[in-house]
Amino acid sequence: MKVLIIEDESVAGQLLKSTIASVDPDIEVVEILDSVESSVQYLSTKPLLDLIFLDIELGDGQTFDIFKKVQIDAPVIFVTAYQEHALKAFKLNSVDYLLKPVSKDELTAALLKYRRLHVDQKQALQHNILSLLGNYRNETGAHKSRYLARNGTRLISIPAEEIAYFYTKDKLQYIKTQQNGDYIIDKRLDDIEAEVSPKTFFRLNRQFIVNYGCIEKVHTWFSGKMKVQVKPAAYEEIIISRLKAAEFKKWLGGE
């Protein structure tokens, strides 16, 4: 999930970024912008964003001016010290309106609301489309059936069904096979997630995409999170955020 922050106070921007990370470490803050002008320039490039956090009063104007100059398709959450702009904010594609200082509970509730309004509906639509396509996807080979990986100078072609999970470590991406082999793969997990079968593989967090057949145990964890044990064992604990836990439960149940 890619997020943009527009906030002209450096300390406030970094604080919001760290609060977001504490609520859900899978969220990637791609930029922190501090003006109307820089925001218009950045958004004019049509970056792929899932959500935008906006302060209202910036040094060179109000963020409402951004909407007048560039089309914003991503949903937004306003984060401000002023109550009087709430009505105007909700006339835009606003998910929530938070007053500074933002607490973890308030931020969590806002992100859950965003997920309910935008992510869950999108996933339901995608699920219906996949159901209509049925076996056609498998017959046409829509999902990648094997991956080219390397071990030193040796290249290895690994069938998807032999992969226990994909993972990232020390800025490299790896395949862990069900035979406990580790191989480097020159692909980002974001790209792999789009290629594998969503019935077989699930993106647990920013570090892991797991094969259903290699999930050994699932535990409830603190603050609504979940802990997943896989086989072969992973190099670190695999924790699913509270925001993604509901989606994971649906996937486990075959929905």
71/152 Cα distance (integer angstroms): 47
Distance CA 136, CA 132 (A): 9
pLDDT for residue 95 = 86
Using the predicted structure, report yes or no on whether residue 57 has a pLDDT greater than 80.
yes
pLDDT at residue 134, as a whole number: 47
Domains and CATH numbers, the chain: 2-122 (3.40.50.2300), 145-252 (2.40.50.1020)
CA–CA dist 16, 101 (Å, integer): 9
Residue 99 has pLDDT above 90, yes or no: no
What pLDDT shows up at residue 113? 87
Whether the predicted pLDDT of 35 surpasses 80: yes
Residue type, position 139, single letter: E
Least confidently predicted of 73-77, 129-133, 200-204? 129-133
> Which has the closest alpha carbon to 102: 1, 17, 9?
17
| 120 vs 102: CA distance, rounded Å | 24
Residue with tokens 């080979």: 141
Residues forming a β-bridge with 176:
165, 182
Distance of alpha carbon 27 from alpha carbon 171, whole angstroms: 17
Q: Which of 8, 16, 74 is nearest to 43 (CA)?
A: 74
pLDDT in tens, 122-152: 555 454 544 454 444 444 456 889 999 999 8
For residues 49-63, one letter each, b for 16 or more C-beta atoms within 10 angstroms of the residue's C-beta and e for the rest, the string is bbbbbbbbebeeebb
